[in-house]
């Protein structure tokens, strides 16, 4: 015990001396940093790998100016450097500091800029909800202050999130609004304009609207070439290649993929996304042509540049799927198994909530590949057993296909019968309308008579097409109360109020779709809104309930009749 106390007493001076030296070193470091310029301190922070050192540099940077706006811009410069290096967590850390500083002086312009930058960092880090939160904050400030350029940039970024979430119609709407804002913005015919056109083209590709995708890609390419914007040109040439792939014009598809590759090589582009995309699409092209070794060689050009963080990029998943497929096609089971295992590992990562959209897109492909790999690994089994397995597999597939075809034709036959029956009813109804003379049903009750006459007048005025047509509003129109009107409709129209309105709307839709070519060119959603429904789902449900057919099927059949007549 005495020995321990003696050691402890001897260590106290050493501890005090150590602390003193540490404090002295920190003090000396701070004194030496006081003479450094902001740019030098920013470089020190960016290059530092030590948290304690970084804090010293941050402290020195904050001591250089008492102006919170200037300090905020210094922090923004640091965050921007980390963003360019792909270190998004560090970028967000310094953006938080910039936001905290600028809030002290209530500078909306800078605050909006930093909110957009934070949204961008979270977007790159696949934290969609966080990204959306910051974009919405930026959008609020932009709206309130008339910052058209910031509104344009923010909307363009929000559309990327919406696209990731599969909300293509919303994403397209946001993009089109941004495109309008471009006309009065300094971003017209700039790289930002090209990026927006690229997003629009990509959304149309997702929707399989290839002509529209091509149209916006062409506009973007014209601007990219005038600016010598290589990244934009690569992206848009690639989009055009994908369009022609989907159109089964492989020669044109390869032409545009080669153009993208040419820009990539000639301009010495090192951006990972561009390299990843062009290698994948060229490889996929050669895979479709059954040139599997050539496809593998393009995919192998990508593998060395991939890092662990790139696993969040869906194109990496595509690359692994294609590699596994290529190796399985040329019978290299070990290599195919290797890439399948990497796929399964990636699949687990994508099953995280923030990647559920991407998981959904690739799950089927991975499942199919797993099944195929199981067959490949069992190739060493006896030949007879393999033949027997293949025979039963093919037999099962044939039976399933026959069943599907049988069900399809049976459904088509039923639908055709319903359609023809429906047309006869509509023709009969229209014929009666033309021949009929206005008659009044004699009802002894004057009050009921008055309500029915007003109801008929509202029907003739097509009041039922209004979205706000409900029992309350209609009661006011026919000058009675809701209970009495509901009772009259039940008695004299043989339906509940809701069924009565839905019958009128569906009958109107059937006749107008049949007779109005322009009307049936509308989307189902637009038709639904036009005839008073708030959603296309509600319209489709009531249409099918009344006719037994989907609206899209009815429209298609009417169009076919017009073409054949």
CA 356 centroid distance within chain? 12
pTM of the model: 0.53
pLDDT band at 1 (very low <50, low <70, confident <90, very high): low
Beta strands in 150-214 (DSSP E): none
Q: Is the pLDDT score of 179 beyond 70?
A: yes
Per-residue pLDDT band for 433 (boundaries 50, 70, 90) equals low
What pLDDT shows up at residue 364?
Answer: 47
* Cα(83)–Cα(174) distance, integer angstroms: 25
Say if residue 231's pLDDT is above 70: yes
Statement: residue 167 has pLDDT above 70? yes
Sign, CA dihedral 13-16-22-23, equals: negative
Q: Please, which pLDDT band fits residue 442 given cuts at 50, 70 and 90?
A: very low
Mean pLDDT value across residues 540-562: 89
CB 72 within 8 A of CB 110: yes
Q: Are 336 and 376 in contact (CB under 8 A)?
A: yes
Tell me the pLDDT band of 446, cut-offs 50, 70 and 90.
confident
Give the distance between the most distant pair of CA atoms in the chain: 122
Give pLDDT, residue 22: 45
Query: Is the model's pLDDT at 396 over the cut of 90?
Result: no
Q: Which long-range contacts (CB under 8 A, 24 or more apart) does 353-356 make?
A: 354/126, 354/127, 354/128, 354/129, 355/126, 355/312
* Calpha distance 255→277 (Å, rounded): 15
**pLDDT in the model for residue 504:** 93
The pLDDT value recorded for residue 253 is 95
pLDDT at 306 over 90: no
For the chain, give the percent of residues with pLDDT over 90: 42
Average pLDDT over residues 194-220: 94
Whether 9 has a pLDDT exceeding 90, the answer reads no
Q: Return d(Cα 112, Cα 106) in angstroms, integer.
A: 11
| pLDDT at residue 317, as a whole number | 85
CA dist., res. 261 & res. 275, Å (int): 9
What are the strands, taking DSSP E only, across 73-137?
Answer: none
In this prediction, residues 90-118 reach a mean pLDDT of 91
Least confident of 96-110, 152-166, 347-361, 463-477: 347-361
Q: Count the Cβ atoms, other than its own, within 10 Å of residue 376.
A: 19
Tell me the C-alpha distance between 546 and 549, whole Å.
8
- Statement: residue 21 has pLDDT above 50: no
DSSP 300: H
For 277, counting Cβ atoms within 10 Å of its Cβ (0-12 exposed, 13-18 middle, 19+ buried), the class is: buried
Q: Give pLDDT, residue 17.
A: 44
pLDDT at 323 over 70: yes
What band does 505 get if pLDDT is binned at 50, 70 and 90?
very high
Q: Which residue has the higher pLDDT, 206 or 367?
A: 206
Most confident of 149-158, 301-310, 464-473: 464-473
Q: What is the pLDDT of residue 63?
A: 83
Q: Classify 290 in phi/psi space as left (phi over 0), alpha (psi -120 to 50) or beta.
A: left
Identify which has the larger pLDDT, 242 or 364: 242
Range list of H helices, 207-312 = 210-227, 230-246, 250-266, 272-288, 292-302
253-281 mean pLDDT: 93
- The pLDDT of residue 374 is above 70: no
Q: What angle do CA 127, 132, 133 make, to 5 degrees?
A: 105
Measured CA to CA, the distance from residue 537 to residue 528 in angstroms comes to 9
Q: Is a pLDDT exceeding 70 seen at residue 480? A: yes
Distance (Å, whole) CA 39 – CA 81: 12
Asked if pLDDT for residue 368 goes beyond 90, the answer is no
State the average pLDDT for the chain: 82
CA distance 259 to 262: 5
Question: What whole-number distance in Å separates Cα of residue 138 and Cα of residue 183?
Answer: 21
Q: What is the mean pLDDT of residues 466-478?
A: 91
In this predicted structure, the answer to whether residue 353 has a pLDDT above a threshold of 50 is no
Confidence band, pLDDT 50/70/90 cuts, at residue 422: confident
Residue 61 banded pLDDT, cuts 50, 70, 90: confident
As a whole number of Å, the end-to-end CA separation of the chain is: 110
- Tell me the percentage of the chain whose pLDDT exceeds 70: 82
Q: What is the mean pLDDT of residues 43-63?
A: 82
Q: What is the mean pLDDT of residues 271-277?
A: 90
How far is Cα 378 from Cα 384, in angstroms, rounded to an integer? 13
pLDDT value at residue 404: 81
């Amino acid at each position: 015990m005495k020995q321990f106390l003696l050691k402890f007493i001897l260590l106290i001076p050493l501890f005090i001396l150590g602390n003193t030296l540490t404090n002295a070193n920190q003090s000396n470091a701070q004194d030496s940093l006081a003479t450094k310029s902001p740019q030098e301190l920013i470089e020190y922070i960016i290059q530092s790998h030590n948290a304690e050192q970084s804090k010293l540099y941050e402290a020195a940077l904050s001591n250089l100016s008492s102006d919170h706006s200037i300090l905020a811009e210094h922090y923004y410069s640091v965050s921007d450097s980390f963003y360019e290096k792909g270190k998004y967590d560090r970028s967000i850390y310094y953006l938080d500091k910039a936001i905290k500083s600028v809030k002290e002086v209530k500078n909306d312009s800078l605050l909006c800029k930093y909110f957009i930058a934070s949204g961008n960092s979270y977007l790159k880090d696949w934290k969609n909800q966080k990204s959306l939160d910051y974009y919405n904050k930026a959008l609020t400030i932009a709206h309130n202050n008339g910052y058209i350029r910031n509104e344009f940039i923010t909307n363009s970024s929000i559309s990327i999130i919406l696209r990731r979430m599969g909300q293509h119609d919303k994403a397209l709407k946001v993009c089109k609004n941004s495109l309008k804002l471009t006309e009065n913005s300094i971003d017209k015919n700039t790289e930002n304009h090209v990026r927006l056109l690229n997003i629009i083209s990509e959304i149309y590709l997702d929707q399989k609207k290839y002509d529209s995708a091509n149209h916006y890609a062409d506009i973007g390419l014209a601007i990219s070439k005038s600016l010598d914007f290589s990244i934009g040109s690569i992206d848009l040439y690639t989009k055009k290649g994908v369009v022609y792939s989907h159109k089964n014009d492989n020669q044109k598809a390869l032409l545009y993929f080669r153009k993208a590759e040419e820009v990539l090589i000639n301009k010495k582009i090192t951006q990972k996304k561009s390299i990843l995309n062009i290698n994948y699409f060229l490889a996929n092209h050669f895979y479709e042509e059954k040139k599997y070794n050539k496809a593998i060689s393009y995919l192998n050009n990508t593998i060395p540049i991939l890092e662990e963080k790139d696993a969040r990029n869906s194109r990496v998943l595509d690359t692994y799927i294609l590699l596994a497929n290529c190796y399985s096609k040329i019978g290299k089971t070990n290599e195919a198994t290797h890439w399948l295992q990497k796929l399964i590992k990636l699949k687990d990562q994508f099953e995280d909530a923030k990647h559920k959209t991407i998981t959904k897109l690739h799950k089927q492909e991975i499942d199919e590949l797993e099944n195929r790999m199981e067959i490949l690994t069992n190739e060493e089994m006896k030949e007879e057993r393999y033949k027997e397995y293949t025979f039963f597999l093919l037999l099962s597939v044939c039976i399933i296909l026959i069943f599907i075809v049988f069900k399809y034709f049976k459904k088509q036959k039923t639908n055709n019968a319903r359609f023809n029956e429906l047309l006869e009813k509509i023709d009969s109804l229209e014929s009666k309308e033309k021949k009929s003379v206005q008659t009044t049903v004699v009802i002894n009750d004057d009050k009921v008579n008055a309500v029915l006459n007003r109801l008929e007048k509202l029907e003739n005025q097509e009041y039922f097409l209004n979205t706000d047509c409900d029992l309350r509003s209609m009661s006011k129109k026919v000058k009675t109360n809701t209970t009495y009107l509901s009772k009259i409709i039940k008695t004299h129209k043989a339906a509940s109020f809701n069924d009565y309105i839905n019958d009128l709307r569906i009958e109107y839709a059937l006749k107008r779709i049949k007779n109005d070519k322009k009307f049936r060119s509308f989307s189902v959603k637009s038709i639904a809104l036009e005839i008073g429904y708030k959603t296309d789902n509600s319209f489709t449900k009531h249409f099918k309930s009344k006719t037994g057919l989907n609206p899209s099927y009815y429209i298609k059949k009417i169009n076919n009749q017009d073409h054949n007549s």
